[in-house]
Structure formats: C-alpha cells, structure tokens
Amino acid sequence: MQNNFILIACLTAAFLSFSCDNKDSPTTQNKQKEGIEAKPLDEVATRDRQNFYTAAPEMTIDVDKKYTAAITTEEGEFLVELNTISAPIHSNNFIFLARQGFYDGLTFHRVEPDFVIQGGDPLANSTGGPGYTLPAEFGLLHNQGVLAMARRGNSVNPEKRSSGSQFYITLKPTHFLDNDFSAFGTVIEGFGVVKNTRIGDVIICVEITEE
C-alpha cells in the first residue's frame, strides 16, 4: 500500500520524489552539552522511530492553557504557539511527540521556496510516521508561518486524515490549503530561522512550555 504523505494531491512527480538522507544517530550528546533533560526516545535512532506507536496518544492537554513549542534547529530557534481551540487533537499529538523526543534528530526533508518547509518524518522521504494518523481538524487559516500537518492524497485518504508526525510551516499565505489540511499553530518568533531552513537541516530539539 502506498504510504506517501503529501501537501497537495496535484503536486508534480519531481516534487514528490524529492528527499534526502536522514540521520540515524540520536542526539543525546548534543542534548547533554546543552543541558536539556533526557527524553524517552533519546536513545532510539531516528529511523527506528518509524511506526514506533500503535495508536495516537490520549488527550492530556488542558485546552484552557497556552502551549508554546520552541523548535531548535541548525539554523537557530523559532517559537510556535499551538492552537488548542481549533485543533486540540493535533496540538495534543505534537506536544506528546515533542515530550517523547520523537522529533529530536529528525530533519527538514523538504523545502519549497515561497511555499513550505516540511519535517517530522523518521525516514526523511515523505513516507514515514509514528504508526498512526489523526482525524482532520479545520479552522485555523493558512496564513504565513502556520504550522500544519501533511497527509496522504484524497484518492487514498478521502477523510483527509493527517500524518501522525509530518508537519509543514508555510513561508507565505497559502489559503488554497484552508479546510483541506489541518493547521494547529503559528510561528510567533524567529520566522527568519524558518525562512533560512535548508533541506537536511536537523531538528535538534522541540521543547514545550505551558502557562
């Protein structure tokens, strides 16, 4: 069965085949140098995180709280405010994976200038994921700097279910994706880092704060 998460069903074949090699080694050494607390998946190689779970996480977040994700990459750090009102399931899932360390050491495997950057795939070829998908949650518009989930095309995914881990960030408004892909956050600081992201850049860590 084809398992190719894409942003738009009509993208060209050349775009769909674009990928890069992933990093197999965990990032524990880097974390220790930075004083970052160890996470459950620190010692699990990135490719071994493929299908690591059998189901999506239970809801544990408080939708009345504000959750922010600090995403540190080779280019620097940027902050994303998660939208728990419009997309509670996606926000909860992202927070769970971040706290597990699922994203740490993965790469941005796709960069399309003036469109999106995409990461969160343990295989770094647009086919990987944590072992589950998420139901669609529409509401947040695709303005510049929106965080959203990639998914498989409509022909094999009529319910428009999201990838369990592959996310993208818009580099400019892309409203043709509204009500078609599930958006769940917005970059509130460090957008220059997002714009400077290159294919193969490593996600060093994702840290969640709540207030």
Cα separation, 79 vs 25, whole angstroms: 25
Regarding predicted confidence, which is higher, 190 or 13?
Answer: 190
Q: Give the pLDDT confidence score for residue 35 in this predicted structure.
A: 56
Mean pLDDT (whole number) for 134-146: 98
Q: Which tokens is 71 given? A: 């995403």
Mean pLDDT (whole number) for 118-145: 97
The whole-chain average pLDDT of the chain stands at: 87
Q: Give the pLDDT confidence score for residue 38 in this predicted structure.
A: 85
Burial class (CB in 10 A: 0-12, 13-18, 19+), 41: buried
What is residue 69's three-state secondary structure?
strand
Q: Which tokens is 38 given? A: 């160890």
Let me know the angle formed at the C-alpha of 72 by 69 and 76, rounded to the nearest 5 degrees: 125
Pick from 43, 23, 21, 49: which is nearest to 130 by CA? 49
Residue ranges and CATH numbers for the domains of the chain are 13-210 (2.40.100.10)
Q: Give the pLDDT confidence score for residue 18 in this predicted structure.
A: 28
Please state, for a pLDDT cut of 90, what percent of the chain lies above it: 82
Per-residue pLDDT tens digits for 62-112: 999 999 999 999 999 999 999 999 999 999 999 999 999 999 999 999 999
Mean pLDDT (whole number) for 122-132: 97
Regarding predicted confidence, which is higher, 23 or 147?
Answer: 147
Q: Give the pLDDT confidence score for residue 34 in this predicted structure.
A: 55
With a cut of 90, say whether residue 19 has pLDDT above it: no
- Poorest-pLDDT segment among 3-12, 117-126, 140-149, 163-172: 3-12
Q: Give the pLDDT confidence score for residue 14 in this predicted structure.
A: 29
- Poorest-pLDDT segment among 2-11, 33-42, 98-107, 196-205: 2-11
Mean pLDDT (whole number) for 38-56: 96
